[in-house]
């Protein structure tokens, strides 16, 4: 039987994963990193694995992320690049992300951020109400997740723009593509939503140049990856008032350390990578299916293209 080992830095996540597989895939031999047999595992199921842990598995034949993203593995260059990497793709992920982004847009559009901030000094201040059609929202990334998110916002009445590597057509969304279309996409946006995958081209993309293109007092929602944001530029844009606020769900280090400045930065709202997640059953079934396919010598599902990074 192919053994799988759970590799993650958060002990609570490891406990959750062990229980998940016990409930939904009890036929799998699941090991924790501290168990003596773990070194012989052929499959590593990961979320931010401890540094060097992948290189300690001489029989490794498959690395499986428990989420749609695999960028958390990129910081471990010592892992064998010939070992295939797969990810979990939950069709219901779209609904969770759409709900989160729609809530975030309402948070800033309707001024709930200002109302909640007013609790500190008991300030009674009614925000100016703007019609959704007058509120310009831009969605970066129009793939399997971003396109439905942009569509939902357009259906809700917002003035929606979308930006991607290549041209896309989405009803109700004004689309822009490539580096040549980015400035026009960003120009005067009231709120920018980032749903891009993390690649070499998108690392640090959300910087002072991007923030300067937005409307004064604009807001940012980042549900892509923490590495998309230049944090120093974000802090500067918030301090200068170019950005009024930022809703951040993803971070370069997760969990976000207790001493991280973002916890205490005025205008920043932190959520614990909860925008959307695959269900327990989906994670277990997709990992189990790929373990079976590995044993049978079949093509793996949701295998990551090393060139694209997803």
Q: What is the pLDDT of residues 183-241, one digit of tens each?
A: 999 999 999 999 998 888 999 999 999 999 999 999 999 999 999 999 999 999 999 99
CATH of the domain at 59: 3.40.50.720
Whether residues 107 and 151 share a domain: the answer is yes
pLDDT given at position 76: 59
Whether residues 103 and 242 share a domain: the answer is yes
Computed over every residue of the chain, the mean pLDDT equals 94
Give the pLDDT band (50/70/90) at residue 293: very high
110 within 8 A of 102, measured Cβ to Cβ: no
CA dihedral of 266, 226, 216, 97, whole degrees rounded to 10: -100
Give phi and psi for 297, each to the nearest 5. 75, 25
Does residue 222 belong to any structural domain of this protein? yes
Residue with tokens 């979308």, as numbered in its chain: 162
Whether residues 173 and 43 share a domain: the answer is no
Does residue 281 belong to any structural domain of this protein? yes
Residue 79 falls in the annotated catalytic set: no
Residue 225 falls in the annotated catalytic set: yes
Does residue 308 belong to any structural domain of this protein? no
Is residue 10's pLDDT more than 90? Answer: no
Take residue 110 and report the two structure tokens written for it: 């309707």
Q: What domain count does the chain have?
A: 2
Does residue 301 belong to any structural domain of this protein? no
Whether residues 57 and 182 share a domain: the answer is no
pTM of the model: 0.83
Give the pLDDT band (50/70/90) at residue 254: confident
Does residue 306 belong to any structural domain of this protein? no
Does residue 34 belong to any structural domain of this protein? yes
Does residue 109 belong to any structural domain of this protein? yes
Whether residues 133 and 181 share a domain: the answer is yes
pLDDT given at position 54: 93
Counting residues of the chain whose pLDDT is more than 70, the rounded percentage is 98
Whether residues 98 and 78 share a domain: the answer is no
Give the pLDDT band (50/70/90) at residue 32: very high
Whether residues 35 and 138 share a domain: the answer is no
Taking only Cα atoms into account, the Rg of the chain, rounded to an integer number of angstroms, comes to: 21
pLDDT given at position 199: 86
Helices (runs of H) and strands (runs of E) counted in the chain: 8, 12
Whether residues 202 and 232 share a domain: the answer is yes
Whether residues 57 and 202 share a domain: the answer is no
Whether residues 73 and 100 share a domain: the answer is no
CA distance linking residue 11 with residue 32, whole number of Å: 10
What residues make up the domain containing 40?
3-90+277-296
Is residue 78's pLDDT more than 80? Answer: no
Take residue 47 and report the two structure tokens written for it: 């979320």
Whether residues 288 and 248 share a domain: the answer is no
Does residue 304 belong to any structural domain of this protein? no
Is residue 40's pLDDT more than 80? Answer: yes
Angle formed by the axes of helices 146-155 and 93-109, nearest 10°: 50
CA distance linking residue 254 with residue 119, whole number of Å: 29
Whether residues 37 and 104 share a domain: the answer is no
- Active-site residue, from 79, 161, 228, 273: 273
- Active-site residue, from 79, 225, 228, 244: 225
């Amino acid at each position: 039987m192919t053994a799988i080992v759970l590799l993650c830095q958060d002990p609570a996540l490891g406990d959750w994963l062990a229980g998940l597989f016990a409930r939904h895939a009890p036929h799998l031999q699941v090991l924790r990193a501290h168990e003596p047999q773990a070194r012989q595992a052929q499959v590593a199921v990961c979320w931010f694995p401890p540094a060097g842990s992948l290189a300690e598995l001489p029989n490794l034949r498959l690395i499986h992320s428990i989420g749609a993203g695999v960028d958390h593995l990129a910081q471990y260059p010592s892992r064998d690049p010939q070992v295939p990497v797969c990810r979990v793709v939950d069709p219901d992920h779209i609904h969770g992300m759409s709900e989160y982004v729609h809530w975030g847009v309402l948070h800033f559009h309707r001024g709930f951020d200002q109302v909640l901030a007013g609790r500190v000094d008991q300030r009674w201040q009614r925000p100016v109400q703007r019609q959704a059609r007058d509120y310009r929202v831009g969605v970066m990334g129009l793939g399997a997740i971003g396109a439905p998110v942009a569509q939902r916002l357009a259906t809700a009445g917002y003035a929606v723009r979308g930006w991607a590597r290549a041209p896309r057509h989405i009803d109700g969304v004004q689309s822009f593509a490539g580096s040549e279309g980015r400035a026009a996409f960003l120009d005067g946006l009231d709120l920018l939503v980032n749903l891009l995958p993390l690649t070499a081209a998108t690392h640090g993309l959300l910087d002072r140049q991007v923030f300067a293109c937005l409307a004064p007092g604009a807001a940012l929602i980042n549900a892509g990856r923490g590495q998309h944001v230049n944090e120093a530029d974000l802090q500067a844009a918030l301090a200068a008032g170019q950005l009024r606020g930022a809703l951040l769900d993803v971070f370069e280090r997760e969990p976000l350390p207790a001493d991280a400045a973002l916890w205490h930065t005025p205008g920043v709202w932190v959520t614990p990578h909860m925008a959307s997640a695959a269900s327990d059953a989906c994670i277990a079934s997709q990992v189990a299916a790929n373990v079976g396919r590995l044993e049978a010598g079949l093509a793996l599902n949701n295998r990551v293209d090393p060139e694209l990074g997803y």
